[in-house]
Amino acid sequence: MITINENYLKLQDSYLFSTIAKKVAKFQEEHPDKQIIKLGIGDVTLPIPETCGDAIKKATDEMLQKETFRGYGPEQGYDFLREKIAKYDYETLGINIDKNEIFVSDGAKCDTGNIGEIFGNDNIIAITDPVYPVYLDTNVMAGRTGEYNKQNNQYENVVYLATNSENNFIPELPKKRVDMIYLCFPNNPTGTVLTKSELAKWVKYAKENKAIILFDGAYEAFITEEGIPHSIYEIEGAKEVAIEFRSFSKTAGFTGVRCAYTVVPKELKAYTSGGKEVSLNSLWNRRQCTKFNGVPYITQRAAEAIYSEKGQKQIKDNIRYYQENAKIIREGLEKEGYTVFGGKNAPYIWLKVPKKYTSWEFFDYLLETVNIVGTPGTGFGPSGEGYFRLTAFGSRENTIEAMERIRNMKK
Ligand code: MLT
C-alpha cells in the first residue's frame, strides 16, 4: 500500500496566495463588470529592463547556433553571473564573498523552502510572526513541527517570535533555545526593518547557541534609510552563522523570468548528532548537483545584464517607481486615519484594520465594496490578526485609483 507523507495533513487549508486567488476569481466570476485592483500578492507590474530583454534575445540567438549553443550549465550557476553578484552585490558593501559561495537558482521561494533538506529534522525552528508562509509550511512538510493547535493558531514545536506594533516590529530573542532562525528584512509582510545593532543581536545569539540564521534579503533594494543593513554579512561574524537568500524578482521584475541566488559561506558549519562539524556549503552543493540542473543560460544572461551601467539605471528607475507607489499608499491611508507601518524601506504597507473587522473580514469588505484585493494579516500568522498588507507593486494608475476608492469608502 502506497502511503503519503502525513506531515502534509498537518498543513492548514491551501497556500495563502492560492486561497486569495480563488476567492478573487469567484468574486470576479460573480461580478464580471467590476474592475478589481490587485494589491495582494507581491507581483511586479513593470516590464523587465530593456537591457535584460536585449540579453535574452542575444542569448537566444546563441542557443540557435551550433557553435554557441549550450546544454547543461553548471548546477551552481555560470561564473559570469556569480562573479558579478560577488562584485556588485557584496564587494560594494565591503563584504568578501567568493563566487563558489553563491548558488544561482530559480527563486528565493524554492531556496528558502528547499534549504531545510540539509538540516536535521529534530532542529527547533524559530519564525517571526507574521511570516512569509513558505518558511513555516516547508518545515511542516518536513516534519519539523508538531500538530497545528487551533486554540492559539500555532504549530507545536515552533518558536513564534511576535512582531507587532507593541514591540515596534523588533522580534525578541527566543526564551527557549532554537536552532534554525528565519529572518526576513526588510520584512515581508510588515515592511519593517532591523537596524545593524538589532541584527547583530541575532548573529551573537546564533554564535552562542550554535544556531543558524536563514536570512531572506529579497527586498534589500527597497531600503531608503541609512544604517539599515542590506546584507546580514554586514554584521561581523555573520558568515559563520548565516545563509542569505536574494532574488531578482522584485529588484528587476523577474517574477516571471525566475532567477535568484543563495549565499552559503564556506565558514558555515553545522554538526552531526555526534558533534562533528560539517560544511554547509558542501552539503548544499551536493543537494543542488543532485536535484537541480541549474537556471537556463538565457535567464542567467538576463540577470547578468542587470549589473551593466544601463541595467543598474533601469532597475533603479523601476524600484523608485514602486517606492513612490508605497509612499502614495502610506500617505493616502494615513490621511484617512489608518495606522500604517512599513512602506519606507520595503514595497509592503502593513496597516491596522478598523477595530470592527478581523483581517479576513476586512479582506472581504475591501473586495466587495471597493474591489481592492490585499492580503489579510492573519494569513501570515496569528500575530497578523488585526493587520492587512497592501503591496506597492501595482501600476501607478491602479495605486492612485485604489487610494481614491478607499478615500470614498465607508469605514
Ligand atoms: C508575497 O506576496 O509575499 C510574495 O510575492 C510572495 C513571493 O515572493 O513568493
User: Which domains can be identified in the chain, with CATH numbers?
Assistant: 6-47+310-407 (3.90.1150.10), 53-308 (3.40.640.10)
- Span 97-143, pLDDT tens digits: 999 999 999 999 999 999 999 999 999 999 999 999 999 999 999 99
67 alpha carbon to ligand 1 midpoint, in Å? 39
Atom of ligand 1 nearest to the CA of 250: 8
Ligand 1: residues within 6 Å at CB?
41-43, 109, 132, 188
Atom of ligand 1 nearest to the CA of 255: 8
* Cell numbers describing residue 219: 527586498
Q: What is the pLDDT of residue 15?
A: 80
119 alpha carbon to ligand 1 midpoint, in Å? 24
| pLDDT cut 70: percent of the chain above it | 100
pTM, two decimals, is: 0.97
Answer whether 73's CB lies under 8 Å from 297's CB.
Answer: yes
- Return the closest-CA partner of residue 213 out of 194, 195, 239: 239
| DSSP summary character for residue 182 | E
Q: How many other β-carbons are positioned within 10 Å of the β-carbon of residue 277?
A: 8
- Return the closest-CA partner of residue 105 out of 311, 211, 231, 243: 243
Answer whether 378's CB lies under 8 Å from 384's CB.
Answer: yes
The parts of the chain modelled with pLDDT lower than 70 are none
- Span 160-211, pLDDT tens digits: 999 999 999 999 999 999 999 999 999 999 999 999 999 999 999 999 999 9
Q: What is the pLDDT of residue 232?
A: 98
108 alpha carbon to ligand 1 midpoint, in Å? 10
Q: Any bridge partners for residue 161, and if so which? A: 128
CA distances from 362 to 47, 169, 366 (A): 31, 22, 6
CA angle 382, 40, 325 (to 5 degrees): 115
Burial of residue 345 (number of CB atoms within 10 Å: 0-12, 13-18, 19+): buried
Q: Any bridge partners for residue 125, and if so which? A: 158, 180
